């Protein structure tokens, strides 16, 4: 099966700075890469996703980049705000129904 | 529009007891999933149902069974609970393969 590794496990940034979270995957057939945000005690929520035919996707302050050759994809959050503090999970899918999740990154934005 | 509804929110079981976690979605999604979330291990797929009438094993199916009752409902059953099944369980649904999930609010299960 697929193996997804996520780094770092914890990340602290000053408000207004950028945050970058990186994931690597093992299966070159993986073709869909979503990112989820989970606030404490809440359900994960999809924040952005990218498919293998695209190298970069942006949505306001959030962007995701994909390097298929190196088998890694990254989440970029610019102009961070305290409400961005949460745990972020990456995932990869090759069959469409079995998503393999990373172990999460706990992001703290310091006001 | 409630999205994905899970019940119960909390449950404590004794080892060997059985229970069923209920999940229902009102978004007319084809695919439904059950995940467990353990500290430091992310989310792991237990079972999924790609469409009404089908179910398949995920990464960690042992000790669980599922039923896709109709397009809206997908239940997860623990026949004989074990302490290793202490976890937070999330149900999710999606339009279909390779689309993002909508998650339920989760069930925190403790097996003593």
Interchain proximity B98–A32, CB inside 8 Å: yes
Average pLDDT of chain B? 95
Closest CB to B45 among A31, A42, A98: A98
Burial class (CB in 10 A: 0-12, 13-18, 19+), A92: buried
pLDDT band at residue B1 using 50, 70 and 90 as cut-offs: low
Q: Which of residues 15-54 of A touch B (CB under 8 A)?
A: 31-32, 34, 36, 42-46, 49, 51
Interchain proximity A96–B96, CB inside 8 Å: yes
- Residue range B18-42: mean pLDDT, rounded: 94
Q: Nearest residue of A to residue B5 by CA position? A: A43
CA-atom Rg of chain A in angstroms: 13
pLDDT tens per residue across span A53-81: 889 999 999 999 999 999 999 999 999 99
**What residues contact residue B89 under an 8 Å CB cut-off, 6+ apart?**
B6, B21, B34, B35, B36, B37, B46, B76, B106, B107, B109
* Contact present, B19 and B77 (Cβ < 8 Å): yes
| Percent of chain A's residues with pLDDT above 90 | 90
- Residue range B40-65: mean pLDDT, rounded: 93
Q: Over 90: is that where the pLDDT of A108 sits? A: yes
Interchain proximity A46–B101, CB inside 8 Å: yes
- Residue range B83-100: mean pLDDT, rounded: 93
- Residue range A105-109: mean pLDDT, rounded: 98
- Residue range A25-40: mean pLDDT, rounded: 95
State the Cα–Cα distance between residues A77 and B89, nearest whole angstrom. 28
């Amino acid at each position: 099966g697929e193996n997804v590794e996520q780094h770092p496990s914890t990340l602290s940034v000053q408000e207004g700075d950028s945050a970058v979270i990186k994931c690597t995957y093992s299966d070159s057939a993986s073709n869909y890469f979503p990112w989820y945000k989970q606030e404490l005690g809440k359900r994960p929520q999809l924040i952005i996703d990218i498919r293998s035919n695209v190298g970069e996707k942006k949505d306001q302050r959030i962007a995701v980049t994909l390097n298929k050759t190196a088998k890694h994809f990254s989440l970029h959050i610019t102009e961070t705000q305290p409400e961005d503090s949460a745990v972020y999970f990456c995932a990869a899918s090759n069959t469409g129904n079995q998503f393999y999740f990373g172990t999460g990154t706990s992001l703290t934005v310091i006001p | 529009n409630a999205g994905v509804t899970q019940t119960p929110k909390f449950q404590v079981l004794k080892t060997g007891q059985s229970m069923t976690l209920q999940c229902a979605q009102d978004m007319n999604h084809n695919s439904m999933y059950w995940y467990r979330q353990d500290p430091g291990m992310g989310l792991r797929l237990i079972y999924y149902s790609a469409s009404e009438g089908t179910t398949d094993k995920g990464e960690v199916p042992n000790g669980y069974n599922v039923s896709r009752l109709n397009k809206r409902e997908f239940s997860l059953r623990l026949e004989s609970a074990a302490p290793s099944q202490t976890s937070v369980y999330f149900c999710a649904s999606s339009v279909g393969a390779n689309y993002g999930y909508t998650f339920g609010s989760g069930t925190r299960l403790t097996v003593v």
